[in-house]
Structure 1
Amino acid sequence: MLSLQGAFDKVVPPGKTRAQSDVPEVMRQSVVQALVGLGWSDKIARTGVSDAIEADPSCAVDAGSLLRAVLTILGPKTTREARP
């Protein structure tokens, strides 16, 4: 008898790379919310998080490291939204 138990535990969801799927969603959301709080749009924040993880998967050890990596990417070339 063939058992497939555990065979699909590390299946990568469509649209994500292996590095992106290894980062907990709660950490990604935490960093996105921090960026939104700093003035970036939700879309730019999500893109920045994905770009940082793609560029260096080891930056996602904790939320602080991931946030620093994203700020390095977003800082020089992306403007924040104007606040009223």
Structure 2
Amino acid sequence: MQIEVIGPGCPRCQKTAQNVEIALDELDGVDATVEKVEAQMEIIDRGVMHTPAVAVDGEIEIEGDIPDIDRLVDIFESA
């Protein structure tokens, strides 16, 4: 699974990235790569209007919210 944390690197985006890593740790053995997308044009190209955002395999799952770990675990399990 390809996970993208999308945002300019602000504290909210950093917290989102941290929560993504914790959620993946809870799902021991999940094959996932995490990429941070911080360039403004890349954010716009993905259609994100509010950051932070999280995309899984190219689909925006969360936008404009810092997701909690349980929510991320649910999203990653269903991907």
Larger radius of gyration, structure 1 or 2?
1
Higher strand residue share: 2
Query: Is the TM-score greater than 0.5?
Result: no
- TM-score normalized by the length of structure 2: 0.42
- TM-score normalized by the length of structure 1: 0.41
